[in-house]
Amino acid sequence: MVQSNAYVLILAPVGRDGAVAEKILAEVGLHSLVCCTLEAVLSNLDKAGCAVVTEEALLSSDRRPLAEWASRQPPWSDFPFIVLTTRGRSPDLHLPEMLGNVTVLERPFHPAVLANATQSALRARRRQREVEAHLQERQRTHERQALLIRELHHRVKNTLSTVQGLLGGTRRSSHSMDQFYHSFSDRIVALAKTHTLLTEDYWQMGSLQEMLTAELSPYNNHSTHRIVLEGPPVELSADLAVPTGMAIHELTTNAAKYGALSVPDGRVHVSWNLMEDGEDKKLFLEWTERGGPEVETPKRRGFGSTLLQRVLTTQCNAEVNFDFAREGLRFRMQAPLSNDRLVPKY
Domain ranges of the chain: 8-135, 174-337
**pLDDT in the model for residue 1:** 42
**pLDDT in the model for residue 328:** 93
* Residue-wise pLDDT tens digits, 107-132: 899 999 999 999 999 999 999 999 99
CA distance 167 to 158: 14
CA distance 123 to 28: 14
CA distance 165 to 240: 17
**pLDDT in the model for residue 228:** 92
**pLDDT in the model for residue 22:** 94
Amino acid letter, residue 148? L
Q: Residue 185: which residues within 8 A CB-CB, separation 6 or more? A: none
User: Is CATH 3.30.565.10 the right assignment for the domain spanning 174-337?
Assistant: yes
Query: For strand 227-230 and strand 205-207, is the pairing parallel, antiparallel, or unpaired?
Result: unpaired
CA distance 247 to 56: 79
**pLDDT in the model for residue 245:** 83
Chain CA centroid to CA 23, Å: 47
**pLDDT in the model for residue 197:** 59
**pLDDT in the model for residue 342:** 47
CATH fold, domain 8-135, is Rossmann fold (3.40.50)
Please state at what angle helix 111-173 crosses helix 238-257, rounded to 10 degrees.
40
10 Å CB burial of residue 197 (0-12, 13-18, 19+) is buried
**pLDDT in the model for residue 288:** 95
**Enclosing H/E stretch for 106:** strand 101-107
**pLDDT in the model for residue 223:** 61
Q: List the alpha helices (DSSP H) in 28-110.
A: 38-44, 55-59, 64-71, 94-99
Segments in the chain below pLDDT 70: 1-5, 147-174, 183, 187, 189-204, 221-224, 300-307, 338-346
